[in-house]
Amino acid sequence: MSSVHDTLTGRDLFNDVWIWFLPADECVRIVEGDPSQTTQELAAWFNVTLPTILTHLRQINKIKKYEKWVPHDLTDLQKETHVETCVALLTRYRNEGILDRIVTCDKKWILYDNRKRKMQWLTPGQMPQQCPKAKLTNKKVMVTVWWSQHGVIHYSFLRSGQAITADVYCAELRTMLTKLAVKQPRLMNRSSPLLLHDNARPHTARETMLTLQELQLETIRHLPYSPDLAPTDYYFFRDLDNYLRDKKFSSQEAVQNAFTQ
């Protein structure tokens, strides 16, 4: 029986052997020097075929990913401000341990119909189960949640078409602090809460600034155009989405009852 290499000639045989002799450290250096290079460009650089460079990329544990979208192209000054703010927050955390003092809030639309189309494993010719298309007029309710690492402090609901204005937000602040004094009195009596919210217009309005001063409520600086997810998005609302999956509600009361559960 002839060997595998008997079927290879010229460049194919060279590349088959070159897979094992292509210096891994050199490949890593070239790839990491410009991660946006295509496989064609890398193959031309090392003078090998596409299958060869793909094999070696797998061997050095490299995969292809798109660049990450960010909300805004930051200037150098904005980047410096971001770094300074992060360092200041880290220093304060190390000196004071402020995590248990943070109170944060966020809002989310909850749809009446949360069913989504799913992939199914079927045999050839078998018809998949049906799933109705979501209506363009799918009703929804907005929930605003205030919470800390000790638990939920306050939540409220708005109907579709209603908006959170500065007046509404200031009223929510007062209600939240009243409930916080009952649910977490130690935070109100022995220390003071630190408010973490984003730069939405109701949060930065003059009326809101005056209310924060009146309530003596300190805010943690939230930088504009930050790519970071709010704590509520990657923790609270993620679990809420999992709970709401495939659920359908007939009224706002049903939505509110499901949320409180």
Ranges of residues in the chain with a pLDDT under 70 are: 1-21, 70-71, 134, 136-137
For residues 99, 100, 102, 106, the Cα torsion angle rounded to the nearest 10 degrees is 100
**Predicted pLDDT of residue 13:** 45
**Predicted pLDDT of residue 137:** 67
Q: Is 136 exposed, middle or buried (0-12, 13-18, 19+ CB in 10 A)?
A: exposed
Domains in the chain, please, with CATH?
Answer: 18-66 (1.10.10), 76-114+137-260 (3.30.420.10)
Q: What angle do CA 229, 243, 165 make, to 5 degrees?
A: 50
Contact 225, 74 (CB under 8 A): yes
Q: What does the pLDDT look like over 130-187, one tens digit per residue? A: 777 767 667 899 999 999 999 999 999 987 778 899 999 999 999 999 999 999 998 8
**Predicted pLDDT of residue 71:** 67
Q: Of how many residues is the chain composed?
A: 261
**Predicted pLDDT of residue 182:** 94
